[in-house]
Amino acid sequence: MNNLIIRPIRPEETILLLDFLYEAIYQSDTSQPIPRTILQQPPLWKYIDNFGSRKGDLCAVAIIDNLIIGAVWVRFVRSYGFVSEELPELSISLYPEYRGQGIGTQLMLYIQKMLKETGCCGVSLSVSKQNRTFRWYQTLGFSIAQENESDYVMVKYLNPAG
């Protein structure tokens, strides 16, 4: 990925989080896609609603050939990946054709750096038990904080910057 750029999202680009939130939803049967209207449900919508307007909203995007192909973002919300008030929830996704190339790992390293710079002590997320990215999160240092019927809530604590 010689022409890969990772940088903070610009305000005019936050509308793209709608697409990336949809891409972040685990779909076990891709022949029967989940309707995009699912994003209107409050537990999902709160991840992107007026993104950038709340304290602690952080997002980085991956760009190849001037096209935003992935995003990682954190927000302090009480939703699927909630652990505590001190930990923002993380969402990450790439368009399918860019997965498995190390771009997600670079996005994760970038957002962790951003979080450390703000003094954040960690981050949490929710991942379906059927989703193979569960193992990837473990390789990045996430551990299971809670096991639910269909998902794991995972957490990664960050060392302070410096």
For the chain, which residues make up each domain, given as ranges?
4-157
Note the pLDDT tens digit of each residue in 51-68. Answer: 999 999 999 999 999 999
Would you call 40 helix, strand, or coil by DSSP? helix
Burial annotation 65-84 (CB, 10 A radius, 16+ → b, else e) = eeebbbbbbbbebeebbbbe
CATH class of 4-157: alpha beta
pLDDT value for 162: 47
Stretches in the chain below the pLDDT threshold 50? 162
What does the block give as tokens for 92?
Answer: 């990450």
How much is the pLDDT for 1? 55
Indicate the helix (H) or strand (E) that contains 134. helix 133-139
- The most distant pair of C-alpha atoms in the chain lies apart, rounded to whole Å, by 47
